[in-house]
Structure formats: structure tokens, C-alpha cells
Structure 1
Amino acid sequence: MSQKRVPWRPIEPLSRLNGEIAARLASVDALQVAWKAVQASASPEEVEASLKRRLRRHAIETGIIERLYDVSWGVTEALVAEGLTTEVAAAEGEISEATLSVVKDQFEALSFLVEWARTDHELSLQFIRELHTLIVRHQPHYEGRDQFGRTVRVPLAPGVWKTLDNTITRSDGVVIECTPPLQVDSEMQRLVELYAQTSGEHPVVRAAWLHHRFIQIHPFSDGNGRVARALTLLALQRGQYAPIAVDRVQRAEYIAALDEANDGDLRQLVRFFARIEEKALRAELQAPLTPVPESAGAVAVARAYASRLKAREVENQALKAQKVAELAEILHGRLARFMESIAHQVQDAFREFDASTFASVDNATPPNSKAKYWHGQLVHAARLADFYANLSEGSWWVRLHLRLRGSLLRFITAIQKVGRGETGVLALTVFAEVLSSDTENGAPSLLYRVFEHPHIPESVTLIYTDDADTRWDDVHQVVDTALSSAISRFSEDLA
């Protein structure tokens, strides 16, 4: 049976997207307001350091997406936090000098893009070629096919349009033909012209359109994915949004979104970029104030902190606090009812296997003292989701216990405030752990945590201006998917 092939077609302008996308982008914009307030209270050095950390993460993950190399989460975090240096790589003992050179090239290309975005220059073919040249600087070859279908090493010319046809093979086996070499220059010129026409669109939409249309053309022999993901930052930087990084965990969802775009529907890719933009913005709300050296003197220290704290105040903090609490209360009530329903059904299902199976649900909200339960678990879940959990008043949590054959599954879903102070931002996270309920003193002992890198569930970002009815589907989907995964893992270990 021959593979289905989709012939190449010229790139198309951005078409109108429906209202569902508008609601999602409104949430991104509301979160951006809180992020920009934090940015305004930080020093230029702090802002630049945060930007460099995000670019380092992108530089590492973009090569992993292409399977050029593999770097563990632990090493990734060390390189992101401490820098792309030989010393850090040697201390971790996992990443080779050759791999580090490739990552550094990708980081320098991203830094070049950010600096270029700070100018008033328009997107050009020369800029795209220069970007590609930086990205593949230490990549002299790429894997190609000869006339007999054999894999061969082909010299890679940096910044030069391809001379051979190339294709994209989708996950369903469909082969998509990219722009023929003779049409590349004209299509790339058209890309630049059409991108300029999107200037009035939301930066996330512009980023998704540019990314997909560039991938559709595939102008270079290799490195197209890395260039496309770098170009995604262009509109975001100029629109004053946080840089995003598609990571290894999101690879399958990312490719599926590109497949949808190849079929003519850009919405899934826009939604995907919007979610990771929300995560990037939300993560920056965790950053504590950088200490002022005590050697600067008491007055200087006091003035520095007073200035920063004042900058973080917002005129409508009381309104934000009220709206945040109202939104959290409504969603918490729905979560509690959902978990009660699930608990009864799961209990009945497992009692066919073990008659002693027992499921129970508990919950709490501020200002109840129980709202401060699960502090350690929620801080851990927030770290995995890359944000600062403000648990000073507790959280709006729901807990499900499932006891079966001497083991206990504890599943917690919680809505908590994000960032220091009243940012108007909430995050829903989930946490699951398995404990042994058969112990001598009656206290369960931890056996393992269900969710760890790289298999961590999605979180949901909520803004004080959100409508509970509109956001409930997002909340429900994340909780239901995570609970299904937790029950599956728990059951498999009992088999």
C-alpha cells in the first residue's frame, strides 16, 4: 500500500479565527498585565537574567525536539540556572562538548533574534538566513537519502536555500511535500510580505502563523524546525510577552497541532502556543526580589526594597482579591462535586475485585485552617509546573483517597494563588502519591509520587477576570486526565 502524499501548495494568508481563540488570548493578556507589573518592579539586570534563563531553556529543548541529542531534566535545570558553560557540563558529567557547542549556537541565535527584535527592522530574508547560519554553525552535515533510499551524510550549507526536495512525514503516515527548491525564494519573499500584513493581529496568533508557514516551506536542507521555533519569539518579543520553549514533554501535542495546521486549521497551534505562553508568564511571577547587598548601607537597602514593593502595588488589589476568591470558590465547588461522583463510581468498580475497597473525598477552602493542608505536596507540584505558589492563606483543595489491597492512592487537586502579593492569578495543579496503608502504627508511609518529570500533568492558569463557566472545561479536562493516569498507574502496580 503506497503512502498518501499531499502535494505542495503556496502558503496562504492568515484567515480569521473564531471567538474561542479570542477568549483564550484574553486570558493570556490578563496574565501579561501581572507579569509586566513584576517586570516593572525588577532591575534591568534581573529582567535580563530572567530572559537569558528562558533562552537557555529554549536552546536546550529545541534540539531535543529534533532528537539531535538527549539531556536529562536534572542537567537541563543546571544549565538553565547556571549557564551554558563547560564547567557546569563537566560537573553534571553527561553532556558532551559537541552537544554543548550545538546548544550554545542555538542560544546565540536566540540572543541575536532578541537583540534584532529590539530594533525597528522588519522581517527579511537576510535576517532568516543569518539566523539559520548561527543555529547550524557547528553542524557540517545532515542525514539525507540517496537515489537508492540509503541514509547518507550530506554537507549542510548555512544560510543557503535547499537544492533538493524535502518532505514532512506526519504521525499518521501521510507525506507532505514541501516547497520545491525552485520556488523557495519566491515563497520566502511571500512569507515576509504576508507576515507584515499580520501586524494588527495578536502576537501569539502571528507567532503561530509564521511558525507554520515557515515549516510548510521548509526552505533549508536541515534546521528548519529550530529556525521556526526561534522565529516564534519574534512577535512575542515585540509584543512584550515572555519567550516560550516547546519542551520534550509537549512534542507529541506540538506535532499534532502542526498536523492540524497542515490540514488548514491553525487554531490548535494557536491554543498550544497560548498555553505555553501562559506557563512562561506565570512562571515569572514566582521570582522573589533579588537581595540588595547589605554593604550598600541600611538606608540604601531600605530605599531599594521600598521602591520595589511600592512598584508591585496595584490600585485594584482589593478587587483582585475579591474576584480571585469568588472564582476559586465556584471552581472548587464544582471540583468537589465532580470528585464525589468519581469516588463513588471508582469505589463500585473496584469492589467487584476487592470488596473492601473504599473511596473518600475531603476538601477545604480559606479561611478554614484545613486550607493549609498539603503544603509540601502543593509546593512540589508548583515547582514541577514552574511557578511560585502563594500558600500564605492556604488553597482551595479537594482530596480523593482510594484504599485498595493495603495500598492508598491520594489524589489532590488544588487552586492556589500565584506569585507574591495579590497578582490576580491562580493556578490549578494536581498531585498524586501512593502510600502503604498497612503499617504497624497505622500511619500510611509514602511509597512513591505518581507524577514526576518528564510525566507531569498540565496545570491551568486562571485570571481574576475569568468566567468560571468558560474555564470549567479546561479545569475538568486536566483533572479528569490526571486522575485517570493516577488510577491507571496505581492499578498497574497492584497487578
Structure 2
Amino acid sequence: MINFTYNSNAIEGNTLTLQETALIIKEGITIDKKPLKDHLEAVGNKDAYHYVEELVQKKVPLSGKVIKDIHSLVLMDNREDRGVYRRVPVTIMGAVHTPPQPYLLPARMEQLILKYQEMSLPHVVERVSQFHLGFEAIHPFIDGNGRTGRLLLNLELMKEGYPPINIKFHDRKRYYDCFTSYHTNGEDPSEMVSLIGEYLEEELLNYVEIVRNANEISKGNTKSDPR
């Protein structure tokens, strides 16, 4: 959770280091000379992450309410815009795509969720990649879209029994390039599918290694038990 919070916030410009993020989340320490906004983003992402874990345990289906609730936690530093679709047009710096006008957002989000629920793609990685690309293209909130989108991505992976992934700050250019590729190649999601698939494989291999080490420790303890 700490690693995810650090990387997800850093992608969006948060200046906290991994160690500083850990101190804020675990110890409640205030970091000198770092903006209050950065502190609130760390705490907000932590709360949203725990909320996602609750949704996974309860197997809550994806809905507009779920998306707005997650965003409300993410955007802790901006009470006015928490869980509220943006009221103004926006452009994304450096992007080749312009998000829809505010009056279109409720219908577009409803269509996105319905499309996701009806997808017949064989693997969850393909489905969540399509949803993530679509969500960020709509850009429904004035701020916090990236952080909310990555939490939603993990929500759906975890509901299917997979571990959450952690898109690294140092991979942000490749991550952004996935959106450019999607919009310039006829909404082809293959670049995002590859990125998410690689991160998921990495997490699964880490889990396998942890289980292997735990089993070896368990066997060693059994052998040394005099009973």
C-alpha cells in the first residue's frame, strides 16, 4: 500500500519520497518543507486503498457510486470537488485526446460502466485495460483522475483473485505512451494490456517466491522441533 501510494502520487507530481510517504502513513509524521497538499494526498490514497480492500472482500460491483466514493477519499485536499463530476471543460497537457464536455459526463460514465460489465474479453487484464483507458479518456473529475483510475484498476484485478499492481514512477513515460497509442491507433489497447500484464506477472512471481520461502522456513522449523 505504501509503495502504491508513493508511486501513484509521484506520477501525478507529488514530491514526497518513498520514505517520507511511509513516515506520514505509518507514523503520522509531518515532513518539514513539504506542501500540505502532498501530505493530504498520501493520507487520502491510503484511505482509498483500504476502502478498495473492503470493496473486494464484500465483492461490491463496480458502479458510479463506487467510483465517486473512491474519488472522495483520494481528493482529501479539495472538499468542493470530492466525488463530483467536473463542471468545466478540460484539456490534458501533451495529450492527443480532448475529454468530453461536462454535460456529457453522466451518460458517458454510465456507458463506460455498462460496456465494462458486458465485455466478453477472455482475460481480466484485457478488460481492466480497456476500462482504464476509457476512464482516463473521459477524465470525469477536475483532479485525481489518474489516482482514482489506478485504484479502480486494482479493485477489479483483486476482485478476480489477482494481486494489486503498482505502476512505478520511473515507468510513467511508458504509461503515458499507452494512452497516446490508444488514441492514435484506433483505440487499440494492446500497449496498456502489455504494461498491466507485465506488472501483474511481476507481482505473481513475487507472491510465488514469498510462498516458497515461507514453506522452506516452515519445513525447517518442523525438522528442528524435538516433538
Query: Given the two structures, how large is their TM-score scaled by the length of structure 1?
Result: 0.40
The within-5 A match list for 1:35-434 is: 55-72=1-18, 75=19, 79=22, 84-86=25-27, 89=29, 96=34, 98=36, 99-137=38-76, 139-140=77-78, 156-170=80-94, 175-198=96-119, 201-263=122-184, 264-287=187-210, 288-289=213-214, 302=222
The whole-number CA distance in structure 2 between the counterparts of 1:265 and 1:165 is 25
Q: Secondary structure at the match of 1:169?
A: coil
Residue identity opposite 1:115 in structure 2: E
Query: 1:207 touches 1:234 (CA, 8 Å); kept in 2?
Result: no
Query: 2:96 touches 2:180 (CA, 8 Å); kept in 1?
Result: no
Q: Secondary structure at the match of 1:212?
A: helix
Query: 2:56 touches 2:159 (CA, 8 Å); kept in 1?
Result: yes
Greater strand proportion: 1
Q: Deviations over 1:27-73 (max 9, x none)?
A: xxxxxxxxxxxxxxxxxxxxxxxxxxxx221111111000032315x
Query: Given the two structures, how large is their TM-score scaled by the length of structure 2?
Result: 0.84
Match of 1:363 in 2: none
Q: CA deviation at 1:114?
A: 2.1
The whole-number CA distance in structure 2 between the counterparts of 1:94 and 1:210 is 39
Q: Secondary structure at the match of 2:97?
A: strand
Residue identity opposite 2:49 in structure 1: L
The whole-number CA distance in structure 2 between the counterparts of 1:228 and 1:201 is 22
The whole-number CA distance in structure 1 between the counterparts of 2:47 and 2:204 is 22
Query: 2:121 touches 2:127 (CA, 8 Å); kept in 1?
Result: no
Q: CA deviation at 1:200?
A: 5.3
Q: How many aligned residue pairs are there? A: 216
Gapped regions of structure 2 (runs ≥ 5): none
Q: Deviations over 1:246-286 (max 9, x none)?
A: 11110000001111112221101100111111111222233
Query: 1:215 touches 1:228 (CA, 8 Å); kept in 2?
Result: yes
Q: CA deviation at 1:165?
A: 0.3
Q: Deviations over 1:374-420 (max 9, x none)?
A: xxxxxxxxxxxxxxxxxxxxxxxxxxxxxxxxxxxxxxxxxxxxxxx
Q: Secondary structure at the match of 2:61?
A: coil
Query: 2:9 touches 2:42 (CA, 8 Å); kept in 1?
Result: yes
Query: 2:96 touches 2:183 (CA, 8 Å); kept in 1?
Result: no
- Once superposed, what is the RMSD of the aligned Cα atoms? 2.7
Q: Percent identity?
A: 21
Residue identity opposite 2:196 in structure 1: F
Gapped regions of structure 1 (runs ≥ 5): 1-54, 141-154, 293-300, 306-495
Q: CA deviation at 1:179?
A: 1.1
Q: Secondary structure at the match of 1:118?
A: helix
Query: 1:204 touches 1:273 (CA, 8 Å); kept in 2?
Result: yes
The whole-number CA distance in structure 1 between the counterparts of 2:32 and 2:190 is 39
The whole-number CA distance in structure 2 between the counterparts of 1:233 and 1:213 is 15
Query: 2:24 touches 2:39 (CA, 8 Å); kept in 1?
Result: no
Greater helix proportion: 2
Match of 1:345 in 2: none
Query: 1:207 touches 1:235 (CA, 8 Å); kept in 2?
Result: yes
The whole-number CA distance in structure 1 between the counterparts of 2:85 and 2:146 is 14
The whole-number CA distance in structure 1 between the counterparts of 2:133 and 2:90 is 16
- The 3 A distance-change label for structure 1 pair 199 and 175 is closer
Structure scoring higher RCO (CA < 8 A, sep ≥ 6) equals: 2
The whole-number CA distance in structure 1 between the counterparts of 2:51 and 2:5 is 12
Query: 1:113 touches 1:234 (CA, 8 Å); kept in 2?
Result: yes
